[in-house]
Amino acid sequence: MDDRNEAARLAALNSYGVLDTPNEIAFDLLVREAARCMRAPIALISLVDQHRQWFKARIGLSPQELPRSISFCTHAIRGRDVMVVEDASRDERFAENPLVVGEPGIRFYAGAPLTTGDGKRIGTLCVIDTAARRTPSDAEKALLRELAERTVSAFEKRREQTE
C-alpha cells in the first residue's frame, strides 16, 4: 500500500471515532454471531491503524490490541475478499509469527475486510482457531462478508449518532 493510499485509509478509519472506545453491544453481538456460526473459539472486529490492530469487539482473546507488525489482519486488508489461512504453522507468511509459535497458538484464520463506502479497508471481522481447518464453504465466506458489511453499517450509524 503506498503512502497516499495508507493516509487515506487511516483518515477513513479515524473518521469513525471508534478507536479506544468502550465495548458496545452492537459490535459484541456481531463477534458472538461470527464465533457461533463459524464454530470458532476466537472472533474479532479488528481495526488496523498505523502501528497496531485494536479490537472493537472480541471473544476468546484477552489483549485489547496487538502490534500491527504481527497482525494477520494487516494482510487481510490488502485484499478485497475473505482471506483464509488453513494452517498458519505451514504458511510462510505466518509460520514464525509469535501468535502462531506462542499464545494463543493460531492455526486457522478467516477474515473479511471492513470496507467503507468509498472502498477503504479499515480492518476485519475475523474468526480464529487454534486447530487447522479446511477453507470455509462459500456460504460461510458469504456469512463473514455479511457480518463485515453489518459492522461497517454499525460504524456508520454510530458516527451519525455522535455528530
Give per-residue pLDDT as tens, 105-151. 999 999 999 999 999 999 999 999 999 999 999 999 999 999 999 99
pLDDT for position 4: 79
pLDDT for position 3: 73
How far lies 91's CA from each of 95, 107, 141, in Å? 6, 9, 20
Regarding the domain delimited by 3-157, which CATH topology (the fold level of the hierarchy) does it fall under? Beta-Lactamase (3.30.450)
C-alpha neighbours within 13 Å on the C-beta side of residue 79: 12
Model confidence at 102: pLDDT above 90: yes
Q: Is the dihedral of CA 85, 131, 98, 21 positive or negative?
A: positive
Cα–Cα distance measured from residue 134 to residue 158, given in angstroms and rounded to the nearest whole number: 35
pLDDT for position 162: 83
Give per-residue pLDDT as tens, 2-12. 677 999 999 99
pLDDT for position 122: 98
Model confidence at 67: pLDDT above 90: yes
Q: What is the mean pLDDT of residues 38-55?
A: 98
pLDDT for position 1: 56
Model confidence at 45: pLDDT above 70: yes
Q: Quick one: pLDDT band at residue 163, thresholds 50, 70, 90?
A: confident
Buried b vs exposed e over 10-48: b needs ≥16 C-beta within 10 Å? Answer: eebbeebebeeeeeeebbeebbebbbeebebbbbbbbbb
Model confidence at 90: pLDDT above 60: yes
In this structure, the chain runs to a length of 163
Evaluate whether 152 touches 115 at the Cβ level (below 8 Å): yes
Q: Rounded to the nearest 10 degrees, what angle do helices 138-162 and 25-38 cross at? A: 180
Which residues, in sequence order, are CB contacts of 86 under 8 Å at separation 6+? 108, 132, 133, 134, 135
pLDDT for position 60: 97
Which residues, in sequence order, are CB contacts of 107 under 8 Å at separation 6+? 87, 88, 89, 100, 129, 130, 131, 132, 133
